[in-house]
Amino acid sequence: MTQGVPTTARAHVNVALVKYWGKRDSRLNLPATGSISLTLDGLSTEARVAFGDTAVDRCEIDGVAATGEEAARVVRFLDLLRDESGQTARATVVTRNTVPRGAGLASSASAFAALALAGSRAAGLRLEAPALSALARRGSGSAARSIFGGFVEWRRGEQADGRDSIAEPLLGAGEWDLRVVVAITSTAPKAISSREGMARAATSPLYPAWVSGADADLAEARAAIRARDLEALGQVAEHSALKMHAIGLAARPPLLYWRGATVDCIHRVWALRAEGTPAFVTIDAGPQVKVLCAPSDAPRVAAALQAVPGVERVLTCAPGGDAEVLA
């Protein structure tokens, strides 16, 4: 083991275009299917990790000491870093999100990708990107993708230990300029976590169809990204998102992340499309609507969403870059 030094790293949020929704191993965060995402600029987490300056693990998030499950999750991740590095000291973790507070967009993906990069360096490890991706995945599945910028595919993998369940870049952030316009329809805290949502999904009669359809969706998205074909990518992204939410409706107990304004935003985007603006909806485990479109159409899409009753604010994001060490 080399001696680690306190390290600060930053990683961006990503939005899945072909969703991760279901696990084949919940301890290792191994997904039931592959997924494809776009990393977003402007929405990120900076994490500083220092081992050895404290008698117990400490974690502060946006200036507030973490408690409960949030703190326990970080400590479990630090234990994993200690296992992998031989480092035995306790650590201080300080994270800061550039995601607007209370926007319902705070992301475990950017947080655990930044923690994997900063924490591994601070523990004395120098990991290549694939190993970093596997490490980030242990904190939160979608964090495996936030190690990379631009368009990213997280391979399902076949191995029981997850060593081949890692993300890899498909197209860099600078290689295809798109926008994701985010309509925030509620700033209430998330009611059902992704982990719990995925556990419920497994009870849905639609779940087997979701799993068996994933490879076709992934192939379609990969080909669309390769061809830089917004229409094709948008169509499969919208299909994947709506299918994911349909699983929840048929789950027991049922699960519906949408609010009224979420539905109104979907209809507004479909109306824009009917008028000739290529814009496509995706929705994660919450009520916010994310719309994929060309940079030149983003102002029109943003104005249309802002005018939907119940939309609190709108953000526009460009593709974001790789996770990086800042200091």
Q: How far is the CB of 313 from ligand DP6 (least distance, A)?
A: 20
Considering only residues 7, 8, 33, 35, which one is a binding residue for ligand DP6 as defined by CB under 6 A?
35
Q: How many Å apart are CA 257 and CA 62, to the nearest integer?
A: 25
Pick from 190, 213, 188, 168: nearest CA to 21 = 213
Pick from 42, 3, 11: nearest CA to 115 = 11
Site for ligand DP6 in 274-303 (CB under 6 A): 284-285
Instruction: Please say which residue, 50 or 117, places its beta carbon nearer to ligand DP6.
Output: 117
Site for ligand DP6 in 82-111 (CB under 6 A): 108-109
39 binds ligand DP6 (CB under 6 A): no
Instruction: Please say which residue, 216 or 327, places its beta carbon nearer to ligand DP6.
Output: 216
Q: How many Å apart are CA 84 and CA 136, to the nearest integer?
A: 13
Site for ligand DP6 in 128-157 (CB under 6 A): 140-142
**Residue 169's CB: how many other CB atoms inside 10 A?**
18
Q: How far is the CB of 116 from ligand DP6 (least distance, A)?
A: 13
Which range, of 5-13, 17-25, 87-95, 246-254, touches ligand DP6 by CB under 6 A?
17-25
Amino acid at 250: A
165 binds ligand DP6 (CB under 6 A): no
29 binds ligand DP6 (CB under 6 A): yes
Q: How many Å apart are CA 135 and CA 139, to the nearest integer?
A: 7
Pick from 223, 215, 221: nearest CA to 234 = 221
Size of the site for ligand DP6 (CB under 6 A): 15
120 binds ligand DP6 (CB under 6 A): no
Q: How many Å apart are CA 171 and CA 261, to the nearest integer?
A: 33
Which range, of 15-23, 94-102, 174-182, 309-317, touches ligand DP6 by CB under 6 A?
15-23
Instruction: Please say which residue, 23 or 82, places its beta carbon nearer to ligand DP6.
Output: 23
Considering only residues 12, 19, 48, 290, which one is a binding residue for ligand DP6 as defined by CB under 6 A?
19
Q: How far is the CB of 26 from ligand DP6 (least distance, A)?
A: 8
194 binds ligand DP6 (CB under 6 A): yes
Instruction: Please say which residue, 16 or 225, places its beta carbon nearer to ligand DP6.
Output: 16
For 7, phi then psi, to 5°, come to: -135, 140
Considering only residues 190, 195, 200, 239, which one is a binding residue for ligand DP6 as defined by CB under 6 A?
195
Instruction: Please say which residue, 15 or 178, places its beta carbon nearer to ligand DP6.
Output: 15
20 binds ligand DP6 (CB under 6 A): yes
* Site residues for ligand DP6 per CB under 6 A: 16, 19-21, 29, 35, 108-109, 140-142, 194-195, 284-285
